[in-house]
């Protein structure tokens, strides 16, 4: 069982305890343990084998024993007992955006609601607004949340799915005789949500591969099992298909099963016009039926007169025409990113000190970073007051004096308040190296008011970047009511950077918005919004999204050295 699955169990325990109205300190103890497990870079199972669970901050003897039981038996009796102590269906209510444990307890206690359909029926009947502390607005939010949940039913996020797929791939790779092995489908193309997972392999012993695949943890059901294709359904509802193909057709199969459907249709049409046919087995001359390519993807595209097309671009737009003209963009890559400009420390709601943040950044090859803790107006995030921010600036200056090999920029993620003002005064903002502005409250304001807030921040000469510009959380919160065209136009005009937030539930801006913003001449930053050390690893999702948006290195501010960034920001302020 992986760390994320174990952390999720502890988060569920927290929810159950809150629903039951248990002691708040008990709830916090389990929350602390869940977060500690979630942020571990080492396998919890390995730590348990060494007998060092209690060395983890937040895990005492009692919780360590529960983890040990889970790892050794696959079951945690305490968790099972707590689940059985509340009506079946209450935990399901937590999937509705806007429904936390306290509201779940309220609707159960007052209306005996134990299912999402019953919650929807009560909301439509106006029963929720009569409950203590709810009101009509809360009822409308819950109805919108149910609608959002229904729309996202059966889809799985990139950030949840890719690690699962990679674990399965690593499992299969250990089988003797595996020749080639790749993730395919929409996951390979980097779509923000996927319906299922496709994995392709060529192997000398297909039976051994399938047997190992069927040992994947958390299988709910085996949907199909054969020598060339096996399908499983995992406990979270994710379907994973494994296909074994001939080694000399692997490239053709990978191209075919990567898709998209629209891309493949255009490719087949091009092939037909050129006297060929293309399928998952290869490229064939139509007249002679002789196979001309298929061992590699490159050979498939080359046989049709095309440059190899990166998977992120295969959506049936104009990528085939660009490949014919050899005009495909040289898409941004991980090696191009040398700075991280959106990071939080323990000064606000981060989980690393300044020194720990720098250590983790250096491990991942970053050359410099900015510390951008929250402003004080955001009460829930332990935001900084002006005095605390100035003390942090002094700490960073002292750090830079002592460490010449790595530069830390002073900064903030300042809140754009509901009245369109910023939470810090301009005279403080101008002292900082890098200023991010963001909307964290007032998500339901009408477009006119929302755009006044964003426009005010964009036109402030001290604001360098807008973070998570649309405010959406995939499957949980809809985007802000903004005018994207106006946002992109004003960002380009004011030379304000727009963030591509790599957090897997944000991916904000999304690929469509990135393409549109690029047409306006916007400059981008690909950021992880780091709070804990593992957040850095979500950069891969932001890069995938940027590549789908057709960004190249010169579009992205994180590719500049610290001196180049300073010059860029200075030029911006001197030439507004």
Euclidean distance between the first and the last CA atom of the chain, given in angstroms as a whole number: 53
Residues 166 and 105 placed together within one structural domain of the fold? no
User: How much is the pLDDT for 576?
Assistant: 59
Q: For residue 114, tell me if it sits in a domain.
A: yes
Residue in the block written with tokens 């949907």: 223
User: How much is the pLDDT for 575?
Assistant: 65
User: How much is the pLDDT for 527?
Assistant: 98
Of 271, 290, 324, the domain-final residue: 324
DSSP 166-185: HHHHHHHHTSTTEEEEEE-H
Do residues 156 and 236 make contact, with C-beta atoms less than 8 angstroms apart?
A: yes
* pLDDT tens track, the chain, 576 positions: 778 789 999 999 999 999 999 999 999 999 999 988 987 878 899 999 999 999 998 899 999 999 999 999 999 999 999 999 999 899 999 989 889 999 999 999 999 999 999 999 999 999 999 999 999 989 998 998 898 888 777 789 999 999 999 999 999 999 999 999 999 999 999 999 999 999 999 999 999 999 999 999 889 999 999 999 999 999 888 999 999 999 999 999 999 999 999 999 999 999 999 999 999 999 999 999 999 999 999 999 999 999 999 999 999 999 999 999 999 999 999 999 999 999 999 999 998 999 999 999 999 999 999 999 999 986 667 899 999 999 999 999 999 999 999 999 999 999 999 999 999 999 999 999 999 999 999 998 999 999 999 999 999 999 999 999 999 999 888 999 999 999 999 999 999 999 999 999 999 999 999 999 999 999 999 999 999 888 999 999 999 999 999 999 999 999 999 999 999 999 886 665
Of 210, 244, 278, the domain-final residue: 244
Eight-class DSSP state of 472: -
Residue 277: both structure tokens together:
């046919």
Residues 476 and 550 placed together within one structural domain of the fold? yes
Strand partners, 437: 414, 466
Interatomic CA distance for residues 199 and 254, integer angstroms: 9
Interatomic CA distance for residues 6 and 44, integer angstroms: 9
Q: How many domains does the chain have?
A: 4
Residues 139 and 160 placed together within one structural domain of the fold? no
User: How much is the pLDDT for 154?
Assistant: 77
Do residues 277 and 271 make contact, with C-beta atoms less than 8 angstroms apart?
A: yes
User: How much is the pLDDT for 476?
Assistant: 85
Q: For residue 355, tell me if it sits in a domain.
A: yes
Eight-class DSSP state of 468: S
Interatomic CA distance for residues 198 and 184, integer angstroms: 5
Strand partners, 194: 156
Residues 271 and 350 placed together within one structural domain of the fold? no
DSSP 213-279: HTT-TTEEEEEEE-SSEEEEEETTS-EEEEEE--GGGHHHHHHHHH--HHHHHHHHHHHHHTTEEEE
User: CA neighbours within 13 Å on the CB side: how many for 55?
Assistant: 10
User: How much is the pLDDT for 337?
Assistant: 98
User: How much is the pLDDT for 95?
Assistant: 87
Of 262, 296, 324, the domain-final residue: 324
Residues contacting residue 382 through CB under 8 Å, at least 6 positions apart = 347, 348, 349, 374
Other beta carbons less than 10 A from residue 75's beta carbon = 10
Residues 190 and 257 placed together within one structural domain of the fold? no
Interatomic CA distance for residues 505 and 355, integer angstroms: 27
Residues 118 and 146 placed together within one structural domain of the fold? yes
Residues 306 and 402 placed together within one structural domain of the fold? no
User: How much is the pLDDT for 552?
Assistant: 98
Strand partners, 62: none
Residues 195 and 93 placed together within one structural domain of the fold? no
Full domain range(s) for residue 341: 334-574
Residues 228 and 284 placed together within one structural domain of the fold? no
User: How much is the pLDDT for 66?
Assistant: 96
Residue 349: both structure tokens together:
């709601």
Residues 126 and 172 placed together within one structural domain of the fold? no
Residues 515 and 560 placed together within one structural domain of the fold? yes
Residues 368 and 505 placed together within one structural domain of the fold? yes
Q: What are phi and psi of 118, to 5 degrees?
A: -70, -35
Of 353, 356, 401, 358, the closest CA to residue 373 belongs to 353
- Helix, strand, coil % over all residues of the chain, rounded to 5: 50, 15, 35
Other beta carbons less than 10 A from residue 576's beta carbon = 9
User: How much is the pLDDT for 4?
Assistant: 79
User: How much is the pLDDT for 446?
Assistant: 95
């Amino acid at each position: 069982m992986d760390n994320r699955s174990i952390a999720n169990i502890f988060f569920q325990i927290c929810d159950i305890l809150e629903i039951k109205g248990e002691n708040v300190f008990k709830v916090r103890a389990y929350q602390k343990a869940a977060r500690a497990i979630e942020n571990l870079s080492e396998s919890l199972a390995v730590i348990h084998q060494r007998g060092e669970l209690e060395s983890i901050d937040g895990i005492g003897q009692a919780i360590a024993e529960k983890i040990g039981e889970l790892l050794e038996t696959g079951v945690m009796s305490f968790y099972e007992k707590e689940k059985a102590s509340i009506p079946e269906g209450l935990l399901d209510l937590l999937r509705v955006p806007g429904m936390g444990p306290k509201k779940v307890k309220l609707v159960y206690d007052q209306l005996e609601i134990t299912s999402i359909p019953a919650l929807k029926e009560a909301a439509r009947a106006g029963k929720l607004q009569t409950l203590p502390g709810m009101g009509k607005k809360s009822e409308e939010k819950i109805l919108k949340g149910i609608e959002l949940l229904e729309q996202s039913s059966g889809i799985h996020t990139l950030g949840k799915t890719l690690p699962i797929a990679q674990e399965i791939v690593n499992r299969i790779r250990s089988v003797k005789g595996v020749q080639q092995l790749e993730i395919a489908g929409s996951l390979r193309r980097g779509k923000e949500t996927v319906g299922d997972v496709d994995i392709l392999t060529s192997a000398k012993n297909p039976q051994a591969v399938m047997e190992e695949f069927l040992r994947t943890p958390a299988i709910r059901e085996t949907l199909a099992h054969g020598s060339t294709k096996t399908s499983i359904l995992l406990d979270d509802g994710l379907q994973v298909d494994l296909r074994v193909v001939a080694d000399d057709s692997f490239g053709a199969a990978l191209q075919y099963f990567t898709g998209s459907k629209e891309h493949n249709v255009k490719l087949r049409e091009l092939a037909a016009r050129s006297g060929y046919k293309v399928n998952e087995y290869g490229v064939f001359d139509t007249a002679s039926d002789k196979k001309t390519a298929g061992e590699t993807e490159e050979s498939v595209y080359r046989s049709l007169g095309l440059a190899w097309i990166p998977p992120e671009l295969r959506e049936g737009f104009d990528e085939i025409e660009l490949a014919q003209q050899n005009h495909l963009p040289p898409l941004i890559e991980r090696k191009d990113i040398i700075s991280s400009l959106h990071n939080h420390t323990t000064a606000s709601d981060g989980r690393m000190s300044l020194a720990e943040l720098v250590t983790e950044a250096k491990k991942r090859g970053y050359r410099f970073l900015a510390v951008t803790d929250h402003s004080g107006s955001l009460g829930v995030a332990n935001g900084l007051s002006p005095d605390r921010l100035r003390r942090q600036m002094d700490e960073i200056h002292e750090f830079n004096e002592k460490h010449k090999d790595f530069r830390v920029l002073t900064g903030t993620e300042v809140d754009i308040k509901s009245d369109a003002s910023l939470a810090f005064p301009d005279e403080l903002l101008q002292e900082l190296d890098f200023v991010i502005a963001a909307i964290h409250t007032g998500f339901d304001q009408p477009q006119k008011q929302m755009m006044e807030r964003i426009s005010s921040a964009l036109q402030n000469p001290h604001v360098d970047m807008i973070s998570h510009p649309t405010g959406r959380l995939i499957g949980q919160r809809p985007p802000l009511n903004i005018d994207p065209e106006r946002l992109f136009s004003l960002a380009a005009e004011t030379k304000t950077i727009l963030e591509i937030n790599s957090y897997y539930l944000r991916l904000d801006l999304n690929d469509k918005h990135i393409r549109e913003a690029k047409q306006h001449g916007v400059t981008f930053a690909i950021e992880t919004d780091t709070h804990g050390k593992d957040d850095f690893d979500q950069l891969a999702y932001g890069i995938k999204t940027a590549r789908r948006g057709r960004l190249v290195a010169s579009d992205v501010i994180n590719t500049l050295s610290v001196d180049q960034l300073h010059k860029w920001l200075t030029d911006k302020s001197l030439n507004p």
